[in-house]
Homo-oligomer: A and B are copies of this chain.
């Protein structure tokens, strides 16, 4: 999931970036309104953490810009302004959540998970489909109650599928979710991962729709 962190305090930013990457986000960072708007224009960003006090203007400019777009991008405001009035104002401007500094990283991450599962249209971090359960907050997968360990890419692929049960996703869509928009895959990597996943799950778990894509569950 591609996240944009807008935060001008470099010390705070560096720490956050590292832990966000560990949480599985692909993070871009801006310290100014101007640069933030540039990042957003690429159209890749799916989620934004926004500080309000920026050197070249107020973060609310970024918020307004995002909410004027057609694409739905959740925005979590993370700022030192912690009064009730600030919160109400921030939320009413269109933010999806508001956290005042100092904040606990665990709470921020939980709230980000809420936002990202909304992007993925799933309802909770516990994804179940038949005998397979995936807990995206703990990064674990169980089949019939037995826990199993998946390599990173296989886990990401399975999660991408289970976050969209009943929704067919093309290989292209899945590639976009597994790979940073820096490097492209020049081959059938997705097919191979699917193949490996299938060996670990019931044979009819991942279905193929020839020419369209792959699905899991609900059909």
Using a CB–CB cutoff of 8 Å, the interface residues on chain A facing chain B are 67, 72, 84-85, 87-88, 91-97, 104, 106-107, 109-111, 113-114, 118, 121, 123-126, 137-140, 147, 149, 151-152, 155, 164, 166-168, 209-213, 218-219
Contact = CB atoms under 8 A, between A and B. Distances in A.
Given A124-B67, A137-B167, A110 B94 contact: no
Contacts of A167: 137-140
Nearest to A71: B123
A219 B143 CA distance: 12
A96 B219 CA distance: 27
Q: Quickly give the copy total for this chain.
A: 2
A139 to B, nearest CB: 4
Contacts of A212: 139, 152, 155
B152 A211 contact: yes
A152 to B, nearest CB: 4
A202 to B, nearest CB: 18
A140 B219 contact: yes
B151 A168 contact: no
Given A140-B168, A152-B212, A212-B152, A110 B125 contact: no
A96 to B, nearest CB: 6
A111 B91 contact: yes
B149 A94 contact: no
Across the A-B interface, give the 10 residue pairs with the lowest CB-CB distance, nearest first: A94-B124, A152-B211, A139-B168, A138-B167, A91-B110, A88-B110, A147-B219, A67-B123, A92-B125, A92-B137
Nearest to A169: B139
Find the residue from A87, A124, A210 having the highest chain B CB count within 10 A.
A124
A198 B142 CA distance: 26
Contacts of A72: 121, 123
Contacts of A121: 72
Contacts of A123: 67, 72, 94
